[in-house]
Structure formats: C-alpha cells, structure tokens
Amino acid sequence: MPISFNETMSGTYEPIASPGERHPFKFTIDVHAPSLFRHLRDGKAELAGTVEAPPLAESSHLTGQITIRPIGGRFIRYEFEFVGDDGKRYTFAGQKDIEWLDLLRTWTTLPGEIRDGERVVATCDTRFDLKGDGVAFLRSFRLR
C-alpha cells in the first residue's frame, strides 16, 4: 500500500562567499513511498517538487529522497538536487535531529547546506510553519 504527503519548508540561505547576506529559501515537496510497509522498515521515500532560492534558483524542479526515522534513528533527513539559474547542478542536504524533550522545535526546524559538487556554497535555516501549513500537511497524507 503506497503512502504520500506534501510538505513546505521555508527560511533563508546564506552564501559562504557572502557571510551575513541572507536570501529566501523555500521548497515544496511531494513525498511518495511505494509501500507503507517498506517505508516503515527503512524510512525511505522519494520526493519531487520545487525549490525557490533567488538569486541562485528562482524556481527550479527538485528530485531526491527523504529518510524518516524519528524513533529508531531520531532523525528526518532531506536530500535533493536541482539546477540553478546558472545551469549548474546543486544538492541540498538537511537533517532534523529529533529530541523527544523538544519535539516542537526539532520536528519543525531543518538546518542544511547547499553544495556545488563537493563544495558547500551556502548554509540554510528552514522551518515548517505549523500554524500556516499544519492542516494542509495533515490533509495531504494518502494511503492508496
């Protein structure tokens, strides 16, 4: 039985080459695991969506993977790639480290980084807007 949901995270990114300079960073993803049972076992699911990170990428398609292991591993890891407006391929990797005594913050805050190959080009700080997006997030869950 497949499972799917949608999520939006937004915040800022700071280019390594320009410390203190912040730009908007937002991604909206559709997450799909072909089997709920496999997903429960390894926590992995595919994702696709869009990333908005001007001036790096005004609006770019993204693809990647999410690993959701809040109990066994106490983390949720996001990894995706996209093409910037300069034509280069970039990757984003971020991880929510779950702390059971600080659930609200650790389930809604995602630090990460953007890479250009092996080189880190920016650090990111994103958040899930529980008040603004919480209901839509819960309504997006599908078992089919």
**Is 39 within a domain?**
yes
Give the phi and the psi of residue 104 in degrees, each rounded to 5. -60, -50
Q: How far apart are CA 132 and CA 79, in angstroms?
A: 24
pLDDT tens profile 47-71: 999 999 999 999 999 999 999 887 7
**Is 97 within a domain?**
yes
pLDDT tens profile 34-53: 865 555 667 889 999 999 99
Query: How big is the chain, counted in residues?
Result: 144
Number of structural domains (the chain) is 1
Q: Is 66 exposed, middle or buried (0-12, 13-18, 19+ CB in 10 A)?
A: buried
**Is 143 within a domain?**
no
| Burial call 101-126: b when 16+ CB within 10 Å, e when fewer | eeeeebebbbebbbbbeeeebbbbeb
Range of the domain at 86: 3-134
In this prediction the pTM is 0.91
**Is 142 within a domain?**
no
Which amino acid is it at 66?
I
What is the domain-level CATH number for residue 54? 2.40.128
pLDDT tens profile 74-103: 899 999 999 999 999 999 999 999 988 898
**Is 139 within a domain?**
no
**Is 96 within a domain?**
yes
Helices (H), 3-129: 36-42, 103-108
